[in-house]
Amino acid sequence: MDGFIISTLASLVANAAPIVYAAIGETMTEKSGVTNLSLDGTILLTAMTAFAIAHNTGSLALGFLCAALIGAAVAFIVAFASIDLEQEQVAVGFVLTILAADLSSFLGNPYVNQPGPYLGQQPIPLLEDIPVLGPIFFQQNAAIYASYAVVFLAWWWMSKTQPGLKMRGVGERPASAFARGVNVHAIRYAYTMVGGALVGIAGATYSLVVKLGWSHNHTAGNGWIALAIVIFGGWDPWKVAGGAYLFGMLKALGSVLQRNPAFVNVPTQIFSTAPFALMILFLALTSSGLTDRFLNLFSPTTRRRLERLIRGRAPAALGQPFHRE
Amino acid sequence: MNVTPEDKSPEASRLSALLWAIAPVVAALLFTMLILLAVGAPPVRAIATILQGAVESPQKWADVATAWVPLALVGAGMSLTFAAGLWNIGAEGQIILGAIFATWVARNVALPQAPLLALIILAGLLGGALWGLLTGALKVYARVHEIFAGLGMNFIATALVIWLIFNPWKPASGATMSGTEPFPEAAWVPRLGQTRLPPLAVALAVVAVVTAYLLLKGTRFGLALRAIGKNHRAAYLQGIPTRRHTLTAFVLCGAMAGLAGALQATAVYHRLIPRISGGFGYTGMLVVLLAGYRPEWVPAVAIFFAAIGVGSPRLELNMQLDASLGGVFEGAVVLFVLLGAGLRKRLARERG
């Protein structure tokens, strides 16, 4: 395959990594019954935090760690407000989106356009020599490799382990989980914060790996995309990851087309916003009545298979407070 | 003995209500001061600078009133969508479309000032209403949650305004992020004396707030919207046309947001700029949240937000601090108000 295509695909895989982290984190949070709407702001705040910490201490690991902690802390506010204070999750999440974004602008101001440390290439010996796949997947770095693992781990945890089963029970039927002796509130707190930590890692992956450094609204829009991808992927880690790569592909396509002389008159902003709009359009298409009509053209078995492929069901108790009576 | 709120004297319960209202603002102020301390800036001076920047001269009062207009318009519109339980996060795009429609009229229609301004206002209402209708249609017919439908429409509106400024509407001197060429003067909303205050814009925003209030409090439509917001399914089963009302709420909110956009273009900037929406779609949502979704509270809350918006750029001039501190304070106030309301309810539940 031609070197240009391979390097484009490699950058696609890298660019999708933060979206994978954020969307998988949110999937776990939502599977337990809580919506953390604050992703767009949290990613900004944690991207800024990671860069500022790494810039001041020289330690990338500390940057990632602090970003994860801040992500978990924002998620804790969502959990506390919705679980213990029974405030509307969407309202709290929206306010935190705006607050975290403004905080990132204010606190990050001294770091705008500063040079700083970043995570360079860490090819994996042997694997990197596989033709085509090697240069695409295995000439990246630890943060990108871990994003592959996170998808697998989330799937395995949620569908193959006892605690994962409990977590899904809490998101589907909290009352019966409670009756079986499950501490619904503790589990929701835990997964909201684990999800938030992953969102924080998404932020750090932006500023330290794929979109280096810091500027005002450095990552704006990507958190909303991650939230949309959770729905698009039907709360299934594999499909959610697929959605993240699809979005990465749209972005890569945009930057390839942008360099094509035929599109020289089209402003760059069109190419940078189009993937966001298209992603939402995909979401609209897969959930619309139009798709129902299309699916009706197939035999019932094929129809069911296709439906399972493109649609997922939200956790039944998503967004609902649970009272222990 | 168990003391429930009813057992207390009226003065005591009024006092406790007052404390519950003030505490979140104090908490937000302390939070903002901590942030200032974290960056090594003098907290009291920074907050005084914002206040001073908002009120120091009649010109600043005029600026606050001007900044109040889009917030009041978006807030009034969103009190309608929120009544039906809808998160119209797409207001940002609706503002942009209103501005685009108004710009088209300002650039292409040659009329005396009064009829031209009337046409511009109608165009703004129409542009926003259209974008609101599309968002509502995505919600009602394509079953996309309105938050994502609205965000998608925002992204498209942003791309559209930039394309227009860089292609068909680019100035003769070349396209830049500073926008189109200024409109002909007939399309400028007149200003009061030497200030930057457009009285017509303020009057239109007042009309919008009153309209939203009357619709919600005095009409069957408003009653039906609130029924939908409380329990969508029950409203549907009672024979309320939920789809039509949902679409109508989006159209009305879109129209008010679109008017805000048209006024930003013709009364404030006198041109179309890429950031014409100025984030008012999102700030407007904070306004409505803080107003407890009630249109009668929107004007007061919007003044508070407008004053912070006008005062905070002063931080950059006087103290080399980023103006986003104003947004931090606004966000913190709304967050602590939500947390305070939850805490109060919880304490009442535990006592009762």
The pLDDT value recorded for residue B124 is 98
Tokens of B20: 């519950």
> Band of the pLDDT at A268, cuts 50, 70, 90?
confident
Tell me the average pLDDT across A161-177.
93
> Is B51 contained in some domain?
no
Distance CA B159, CA B163 (A): 6
Q: How far is A149 from chain B (nearest CA, A)?
A: 28
User: Is there a contact between A246 and A21 (Cβ–Cβ < 8 Å)?
Assistant: no
**pLDDT (tens digit per residue) in B151-183:** 989 989 998 998 899 888 989 888 888 899 999
> Is B33 contained in some domain?
no
Whether residue A186 has pLDDT greater than 60: yes
Distance CA B116, CA B262 (A): 12
> Is B343 contained in some domain?
no
The pLDDT value recorded for residue B304 is 95
**pLDDT (tens digit per residue) in B320-343:** 999 999 999 999 999 999 999 999
**pLDDT (tens digit per residue) in A33-53:** 999 999 999 999 999 999 999
Distance CA B251, CA A150 (A): 43
> Band of the pLDDT at A72, cuts 50, 70, 90?
very high
**pLDDT (tens digit per residue) in B50-93:** 999 999 999 999 999 999 999 999 999 999 999 999 999 999 99
Residue B276 in 3-state DSSP?
Answer: coil
Percentage above 90 pLDDT, chain B: 77
B chain contacts of residue A231, beta-carbon cutoff 8 Å: 145, 148
What domains can you pick out in chain A, each with its CATH number?
3-310 (1.10.3470)
The domain that contains B163 carries what CATH number? 1.10.3470
Tell me the average pLDDT across B231-247.
91
The pLDDT value recorded for residue A259 is 79
Domain count across chain B: 1
The pLDDT value recorded for residue A110 is 93
A85 at interface of B, judged by CB pairs closer than 8 A: yes
A87·B163 Cβ contact <8 A: no
> Is B308 contained in some domain?
yes
> Band of the pLDDT at B103, cuts 50, 70, 90?
very high
A chain contacts of residue B334, beta-carbon cutoff 8 Å: 95, 99
DSSP assignment string, B165-189: HHTTT--TT---TT-SPPPPGGGSP
Tell me the pLDDT of chain A averaged across its residues: 90
Distance CA B282, CA B288 (A): 10
> Band of the pLDDT at A289, cuts 50, 70, 90?
low
Question: Which residues 99-158 of B are in CB contact (within 8 Å) with A?
Answer: 138, 141-145, 147-149, 151-152, 155-156, 158
Domain that holds residue B150: 72-321
CB-based burial, B313-342: b 16+ in 10 Å, e otherwise = ebbeeeeebbbbbbbbbbbbbbbbbbbbbb
Tell me the average pLDDT across A8-25.
94
Tell me the average pLDDT across A187-213.
97
A98·B286 Cβ contact <8 A: yes
Tell me the average pLDDT across B16-29.
91
A202 at interface of B, judged by CB pairs closer than 8 A: no
B chain contacts of residue A35, beta-carbon cutoff 8 Å: none
Question: Which residues 295-324 of B are in CB contact (within 8 Å) with A?
Answer: 321-322, 324
> Band of the pLDDT at B3, cuts 50, 70, 90?
very low
Tell me the average pLDDT across B218-227.
93
Q: Which amino acid is at B20?
A: W
**pLDDT (tens digit per residue) in B272-293:** 999 999 999 999 999 999 999 9
The pLDDT value recorded for residue B1 is 40
Residue A214, phi-psi category: left (phi > 0), alpha (psi -120 to 50), beta (remainder): beta
A277 at interface of B, judged by CB pairs closer than 8 A: yes
A267·B334 Cβ contact <8 A: no
pLDDT: is A2 or A84 the higher one? A84
> Is B4 contained in some domain?
no
Greatest mean pLDDT among A312-321, B28-37, B161-170 lies in: B28-37
Whether residue A324 has pLDDT greater than 70: no
A103·B328 Cβ contact <8 A: yes
Q: In this complex, which of B159, B285, B331 lies closest to A273 when CB atoms are compared?
A: B159
ipTM of the complex: 0.92
> Is B49 contained in some domain?
no
> Band of the pLDDT at B2, cuts 50, 70, 90?
very low
Which residue of chain B has the CA closest to A105? B324
Q: How many CB pairs (< 8 A) connect A and B?
A: 146
> Is B35 contained in some domain?
no
Which residue of chain A has the CA closest to B158? A273
B34 at interface of A, judged by CB pairs closer than 8 A: no
B163 at interface of A, judged by CB pairs closer than 8 A: yes
> Band of the pLDDT at A12, cuts 50, 70, 90?
very high
B87·A94 Cβ contact <8 A: yes
Question: Which residues 26-65 of A are in CB contact (within 8 Å) with B?
Answer: 37
B142·A289 Cβ contact <8 A: yes
Tell me the average pLDDT across A168-192.
93
> Is B45 contained in some domain?
no
A221 at interface of B, judged by CB pairs closer than 8 A: yes
> Band of the pLDDT at B132, cuts 50, 70, 90?
very high
Residues 6+ apart with CB under 8 A from B339: A80, A81, A85, A87, B24
Residues composing chain B: 352
Which residue of chain A has the CA closest to B282? A98
Whether residue A125 has pLDDT greater than 50: yes
Whether residue A196 has pLDDT greater than 90: yes
Q: Which of A10, A215, A237, A217 is nearest to A101 (CA)?
A: A217
The pLDDT value recorded for residue B342 is 93
Tokens of B44: 């009291």
DSSP assignment string, A187-208: HHHHHHHHHHHHHHHHHHHIII
A107 at interface of B, judged by CB pairs closer than 8 A: yes
Whether residue A311 has pLDDT greater than 90: no
A105·B345 Cβ contact <8 A: no
Enclosing H/E stretch for A107: helix A89-108
B chain contacts of residue A310, beta-carbon cutoff 8 Å: none
Tokens of A237: 């880690």
A290·B156 Cβ contact <8 A: no
Tell me the average pLDDT across A60-84.
97
A133 at interface of B, judged by CB pairs closer than 8 A: no
